[in-house]
Chains A and B, each alone.
Chain A
Amino acid sequence: MRATSRASNPAWYQDSLDLDFQLHIRTAGDTITTFYHDRKQAKWSAGPTLSDEILRDPTKVESLILESVRFARSNGATSLGVILHIADEFATTEIKPELDNPAALQELRETVIQDPGSILEDTSIIADQGTWRVLPYPAAGSAAIATTIALSRQYAPLLLQMTEIGENGNFPIITHALAAPLVAIMGLSQTLQSTPGKPFVAILQYPWFTTLAFFNEHGDLRLIRTLQHRGLRRPTNFRNALSTTNASLEFIDPDLFLVPLGSNVDPTLDADLKITFTNSRVEMIQQKAIEGIPSWCPEPGIAAEPAPEAVPENTSHTFTVLREEKWSLQNFLPTPKEVVEIFPAHNEMRLLKIARLARVAVVALAILCISYFVFGMFEIIRQPEWAFDSSQADIAKGRLAKLTLEKSKSAHWDNLLDDRSKAWSNMEFLSRLFPANGGMLVKTYTHSSKANSTPGQAKIGLIKEWKMTGSARDEALDYLNTLNTREGISAHFTDVARITGNNAFDPSIGNRNIVVNVRTQENSNYKPTPPEESSDADESTYPFTFDLTITQRFETEDPLAITTAKAP
C-alpha cells in the first residue's frame, strides 16, 4: 500500500470516460487526431502529435504518454483516461441464428468477450486475433436480435504499454478502446431529423470504409453494414448494396443521411445519391460544433460529453439503450485479465485499508491493554510487600516459635512452682485457726496434699486435707461451731490468704470447694479445776475434746491445677 496510490486514488478503478482528465485518440486511417479533455471545465484542446509509426510501435509511445501525464498533472489531474476511437476498421460478424433470443442479450454480451467462438456464426475466426462486441438490433421484426462488431487487436499492445507506464509511475492511466462508428451512431439522435413514418439510413463516411445503419420508421436500428473502400474514396458497389439492403429490409424510399466522418471523405456522394435515389430525402448531416474538435470527428465529444438532449423525433428505444446500456461505449481492448489481477481489486484495496485501520485499532487496544497490565504490574512492584524477602517470614516464624517455646516453658515452670502447697503457710493457717487464749488445745495436726488424677486431662486437680485433734473449753465451742459452717471456714481461709499472700487459701478463685467437719465430745479425763489452778497445757482441765477435718478441692480448671505435660 505504501508503493501505490491504489488505496487513496479511486481513479485506478474508474472507467476512463469517468475520469476528470482524458486523452482522446482517433485513428481514422489517413489521419490520427488527439485531444485533451478537461471534464471539470468541459474544455477540449489539441493533444500531442501522434503518428501512425508510434501507434504501431508501443516502445515509442512512452515519451508521448509521459508528456500527457505531465500535462494532466499541470492541470491538477490525478489520473489520465486514454480513450482510443478506432475509426480505421469496422466489421460485423453475425451471431449463430439459434442464439436469437432477446432475453439472452446480456449473457451474449459477456460471452462474446470470454468465448467469442461459441456464439459467432463464422466458425473460422481465431479469438486471439480480434475482439468482438455485441450490438443489439432493437427494432421489432429484425431478422436477428443482434450482431457483433469486430475489431482487430492491433492497438492492444499500445494500450497495455500505456497502462504499464501508469503503473510504473504510480499514476493511473486508464485506457478504453471504442469503435468510432458505434459512437457516431449513438450521436445521430442529436443531429438528424428523419421524416416521420419513414425509415432512414445513416451513411457514415469514414476514410477507409462506409458504415450503413438502417433504422425503421420508429427510429430503431435494424441492420448495420460496412463497406470497405479498398483504396478508393467510396465502396465500389455502394449504390447496389444500399438498394439491395433497402429492398431486403422492405424500406421504401428511406431518408438517406450522409455523415462525413473524415477530413477528406468523398464529397460527391451526396450528389450521386440524390441522382440515384430520387424519391428519397438525401441530406448531409452537419455535426454540432464543439470548440477544439473538428466537425468531422465528433466521436470524442459524443463519448465524453454527458448525453445532450436528443431531437424529440429521434428519441427512439435504440438511441436510449445505446447510451444508457452503453452498447456504443463498449471497451474493445480492455486490460488483459492477467495484468489486472496483478493488483488487488478495488474491494480488496478497500479491505486492505479497512484491515489497516482495524490493525491500528487493535494495536491501539492492545497497547491500552498492555499498558493497563504494565501499570498494574508496576503498581504491584511498588508495594513494600513485593520487596519483602520470604526468608524474613521464615526467620520471624522461627523466632516466634522459639519465643512461644520459651513462653510455654516459662508457663510450665510457673505453674509447677506456684505456691500451691507450702509448709510455712499451713503453719500460719494452723496458728490462726487456734489463736492463743482461745480455750483450745491442739494435740495433733496432720496435713496432706494429693493429686486428684483424672486420666486424659491436661491438668490435675488437688485435694488438700487438714486433720486436727485437741481439747476445748466451754468458751471455745461457739468458735468451733462457727468454723463448722461454710461461711466460717471460708472466712478463715480468706483471712489466711490475705495475710500470707498465698492464693491457695483463697476460696473465691476457681471452683474451689471446702468441706469442714468438727466433732466435739466430753473429755472422759476431765477434772474440774478452779480457773486459777488450771494449766492451758493440761488436757484434763478441758471439759471437751474435738476433732476437726477440713477438705479443700481444686478442680482441673483451677489456676493451681498441675500441668500434666512435661516441660517443653
Chain B
Amino acid sequence: MHLYRNSIMIFGIVIPTVLIAALVGVSFVVKGKLAASFENKMANFKTFQQGQKAGQAIEREVTLQRQHLERWDTLVKQDTASAVTTQLREISEHLPSKEIQQTAFERSAGKGSLAGTAAQNSSQIRIAFRGTYRTMQKAFLELETRMPQLQLEDLKIDPSNSLTSLLNFQVTYTAWEK
C-alpha cells in the first residue's frame, strides 16, 4: 500500500514547489538586477543633474569672463616687444611730443624677477623715457590698460641733467605670454 505516496509527494508537492520557488527566485534575481541597474541609473541621473547645475553656475561665470578671456588670449599670444612698440607709438601720438621721448627699448628672453618660478611663459622688456611726470603717468596708464599682461618689475625716476623739467624714467616689465 501507499505505492503512490512518494510519487504524490515528489510530483504533487516537491517539484511544483521547487519550480515555483525557482520562478520566485528568478523573479527576485531579476528584480534585484533591475534595482541594481536602477541604482546605477539614479547615480548617473544625479550626477547628470548635479553636473548640469554646476555647469549652469560655471557657465554663468564663464560667460561673463568669456569676452575678457578671448581678449586676454589675443593679447598674450602676440609678440610682446612689437605690441609694446605699436602701443607706445599710438599712445605718443595723443600726447605732447615734448613731454614724452622714448630713449631706449630693450627686450630680454629670460624671466624677470617677478615671474619667479611661475611656469607660465613670460618675457622681459626694459624701456627708457624722458618726459614730464604727469604725461609719463598718462602714457603708462594707457599702456598698462591696453596691455594688462605687463607687470611692473622696476621703475626708476631721476631728474634729467638738463635744466628742463623733464625726468628720466626707466621701466622694466615682465610680460606674460602664452
Contact = CB atoms under 8 A, between A and B. Distances in A.
Contacts of A445: 155-158
A140 interface: no
A351 B12 contact: yes
Contact of B16 (A362, A416, A564): A362
Interface string A445-483: 111111111010000101000000000000000000000
Nearest to A442: B157
Interface stretch (A37-45, A109-117, A217-225, A392-400): A392-400
Interface in B89-144: 113-121, 133, 136-138, 140-141, 144
A539 B148 CA distance: 38
Contacts of B154: 446-449
Given A359-B16, A420-B151, A451-B118, A430 B55 contact: no
A422 B73 CA distance: 20
**Interface of chain A, helix or strand or loop or mixed?**
helix
A407 B151 contact: no
A384 to B, nearest CB: 8
Given A359-B12, A413-B69, A450 B114 contact: yes
B65 A443 contact: no
Interface string A157-201: 000000000000000000000000000000000000000000000
B55 A460 contact: no
A355 interface: yes
Interface in A400-418: 400, 403-404, 406-407, 409-410, 412-414, 416-417
A376 B30 CA distance: 11
Interface string B137-178: 110110010001101111111110000000000010000101
B117 A564 contact: yes
Contact of A397 (B12, B47, B153): B47
A382 to B, nearest CB: 11
Given A359-B12, A388-B48, A443 B158 contact: yes
Contacts of A396: 47-48, 51-52, 55
A366 B120 contact: no
Tell me which of B27, B133, B136 has the highest count of chain A C-beta atoms within 10 A of its own C-beta: B27
Tell me which of A397, A406, A409, A414 has the highest count of chain B C-beta atoms within 10 A of its own C-beta: A406
A424 B31 contact: no
A449 B13 contact: no
B9 interface: yes
B24 A370 contact: yes
Contacts of A363: 16, 20
Contacts of B54: 400
Interface string A416-433: 110111111011101100
Contacts of B83: none
Contact of B120 (A374, A444, A563): A563
A88 B69 CA distance: 128
Contact of A567 (B3, B45, B68, B178): B178
Contacts of A347: 2, 5
A103 interface: no
Interface in B20-79: 20, 23-24, 27-28, 30-31, 34-35, 38, 41-42, 44-45, 47-48, 51-52, 54-55, 58-59, 61-62, 65-66, 68-69, 72-73, 76
B153 A449 contact: yes
B176 A451 contact: no
Contacts of B47: 393, 396-397
Nearest to A384: B45
Contacts of B151: 416, 420-422, 449
B140 A424 contact: yes
A126 to B, nearest CB: 27
Nearest to A423: B140
A460 B178 contact: no
B73 to A, nearest CB: 8
Contacts of B8: 344, 348, 351-352, 355
B155 A446 contact: yes
B155 A380 contact: no
A468 B113 CA distance: 21
Contacts of B65: 407, 410, 414
Contacts of B140: 422-424, 427
A407 B155 contact: no
Nearest to A500: B141
Contacts of B62: 403, 406-407, 410
B42 A460 contact: no
Contact of B2 (A345, A410, A448): A345
Contacts of B66: 406, 410
Contact of B51 (A370, A397, A414, A450): A397
B17 interface: yes
Interface string A223-240: 000000000000000000
B117 A460 contact: yes
A530 to B, nearest CB: 23
Nearest to A427: B137
B120 A567 contact: yes
A565 B115 CA distance: 11
A133 B178 CA distance: 121
A373 to B, nearest CB: 4
A566 B76 CA distance: 13
B31 A377 contact: yes
Given A410-B68, A446-B156, A388 B51 contact: no
B6 to A, nearest CB: 10
A563 B118 contact: yes
A505 to B, nearest CB: 13
Interface of A: 341, 344-345, 347-348, 351-352, 355-356, 358-359, 362-363, 365-366, 369-370, 373-374, 376-377, 380, 383-386, 388, 390, 392-393, 396-397, 399-400, 403-404, 406-407, 409-410, 412-414, 416-417, 419-424, 426-428, 430-431, 443-453, 455, 460, 462, 562-567
25 contacts: A341-B1, A355-B9, A355-B12, A359-B13, A369-B24, A388-B44, A388-B48, A393-B45, A393-B47, A393-B51, A396-B55, A403-B59, A407-B62, A416-B118, A421-B153, A423-B144, A430-B157, A445-B157, A447-B156, A448-B113, A449-B154, A450-B114, A451-B118, A452-B116, A563-B118
